[in-house]
Amino acid sequence: MEEQELRFNSKTIHGGQAPDKGYGAVMPPIYQTSTYAQRSPGEHLGYAYSRSANPTRSALEKAVASLEGGAHGLAFGSGLAAVDAVMKLLRPGDGVICTNDLYGGSYRLFTQIFEKYGIVFHFMDMQDLDQVAQHIGENTKMLWIETPTNPMMNILDLKGLARLAGEHGLLMAVDNTFATPYLQRPLELGADIVMHSATKYLGGHSDLVAGALVVKDGNLADQLYFIQNASGAICGPMDSFLALRGIKTLHVRMERHCQNAEAIAHFLQGHRAIEKVYWPGLPQHPNHHIAKQQMGGFGGMLSFLPKRGGRAAALGFLERLRVFTLAESLGGVESLAGHPATMTHASIPKKTRERLGVTEGLVRLSVGIEDVNDLIEDLDRAL
Ligand SMILES: *Cc1c(COP(=O)(O)O)cnc(C)c1O
């Protein structure tokens, strides 16, 4: 069957995949090899050295490209290695406009590595398209977008931003880790590059670290492939295999993540000890209407602020949880809880952090796919 004819929930299983040519293995074998025999110099079966290409990695790259509706995929050793490759498209003096409540590791990479090489980053609230437009200057080359944002779950208007990027000839890159292609496909809304930490929902089982990029344009794909091969931060064959295995159940997992998060958002919203719940599926969420337009569901990530007690209350709550695990990361089948101010966002200066709403009392949940009653009882007990 032609790939394009498949619906999303079949693409997770068959997208870009065909039984292995050797023995018909249904899952791509883990080609744990660095090099490949050549019949005559330069004459090989498409693979010469595993930094340049590896069949297990190729299978993952095709699968992710298929899910995002792109033409080319690239798999990296981590999500940040994928971000790193995108930034290497730029030259000293080039400017990037990015989301202000960005994944902490991306913020650190931008401000502590790439600023040193002369790339200029403008962090701003990209919910305000006029403000973004005002900051586009002669040297601006790229929009770096995260939506939903982390950990405040703000929603940015991808179509509106793509219009701006188009008008000014900017590359638009979207970190789609939180939403996954099941809920949101930025390339279809006008983005040029989609980035993933496959460590999270794509892998889905908290058992690997990997990253991915997907693009439509062949020329852009060539540039990124050159950077990937030249810099070398590739995804290994074992992790490629695990990510592929995870992707096969993405649609089923995401459906349950969304359902459980919805029940928990409503439970927290109605709890007397809770000040505020940040989840784009709540009608009170300031950009709920945009989320509804550009996403197929509202995702499994939410944050909340207890009414009083600040840091001590948040830490006490986290220590009392039994079903939720207190841990970094997100997107696995098991529910995790974290304290952004000391964990994922510790690398962002305190003043900047607090301005964004990442206060000492804020708690972030990655809602897993357990029985939701066990999750709610756990939260209730800990509160
Ligand atoms: C985890 C994460 C990253 C970084 O990915 P790694 O695989 O940890 O390198 C980037 N963006 C978001 C939104 C993330 O959650």
Return the pLDDT at 344. 83
Q: How deeply is 20 buried, as exposed, middle or buried, from its count of CB atoms within 10 A (0-12, 13-18, 19+)?
A: middle
Same domain, 182 and 238: yes
pLDDT, one tens digit per residue, over 27-66 is 999 999 999 999 999 999 999 999 999 999 999 999 999 9
User: 103 in ligand 1 pocket by Cβ < 6 Å?
Assistant: yes
Tell me, in angstroms, the distance from the centre of ligand 1 to residue 36's CA.
32
Ligand 1 atom at minimum distance from 209 CA: 7
211 Cβ closer than 6 Å to some ligand 1 atom: yes
- Ligand 1 mean position, distance from CA 44 (Å): 36
Residues 220 and 261 in one domain: no
pLDDT for res 133: 97
Q: Give the CATH number for residue 53.
A: 3.40.640.10
Specify whether 217 is located in the same domain as 201: yes
- Of 247, 271, 300, the one marking the end of a domain is 247
* pLDDT score at 352: 86
From the list 200, 216, 253, 364, the catalytic residue is 200
Are 283 and 242 members of one domain? no
- Is 51 one of the catalytic residues? yes
* Containing structural domain, residue 146: 3-247
| Residue 74: φ, ψ to 5° | -135, 130
Looking at the structure, do residues 29 and 126 belong to the same domain, yes or no?
yes
Nearest CA, atom 1, ligand 1: 197
**Residue 266 — φ and ψ, nearest 5°?**
-70, -40
Mean residue pLDDT across the chain: 95
In this prediction the pTM is 0.96
Active-site option among 84, 101, 157, 175:
175
- The reply to whether ligand 1 has any atom less than 6 angstroms from the CB of 228 is no
Residue 7: active-site member: no
Question: Rounded to whole angstroms, how far apart are CA atoms 355 and 16?
Answer: 44
Domain boundary among 180, 213, 247: 247
Q: What are phi and psi of 274, to 5 degrees?
A: -105, 130
Domain identity same for 334 and 237:
no
Q: Which two tokens stand for residue 362?
A: 């804020």
In this structure, are 358 and 215 located in the same domain?
A: no
Name the token pair of 306: 């207890």
Confirm whether 175 is a catalytic residue: yes
Residues 19 and 63 in one domain: yes
Residues 44 and 111 placed together within one structural domain of the fold:
yes
Contact 185 CB / ligand 1 (< 6 Å): no
- Could you give the number of structural domains in the chain? 2
- pLDDT value of residue 3: 59
Q: Give every CB contact of residue 312 below 8 A, 6+ residues apart in sequence.
A: none
Each residue's pLDDT tens digit, 98-117 = 998 889 899 999 999 999 99
| Residues 8 and 85 placed together within one structural domain of the fold | yes
* Domain termination site, one of 197, 213, 247: 247
Tokens describing residue 151: 């950990």
180 in ligand 1 pocket by Cβ < 6 Å? no
Expressed in angstroms and rounded, the spacing between residue 77 Cα and the centre of ligand 1 is: 11
Q: What is the rounded CA–CA span in Å between residue 104 and residue 83?
A: 12
Whether residue 343 sits in one domain with residue 233:
no
What's the pLDDT score for residue 232?
98
Q: What's the pLDDT score for residue 1?
A: 47
Catalytic residue among 103, 182, 225, 278: 103
Instruction: For residues 241 and 298, state if they share a domain.
Output: no
The per-residue pLDDT for range 310-351, each reduced to its tens digit, is: 899 999 999 999 999 999 899 999 999 999 999 988 878 888
Per-residue model confidence (pLDDT) at position 21: 86
Domain containing residue 269: CATH number: 3.90.1150.10
Give the residues of the chain that fall short of pLDDT 50. 1
> How confident is the model at residue 345, as a pLDDT?
85
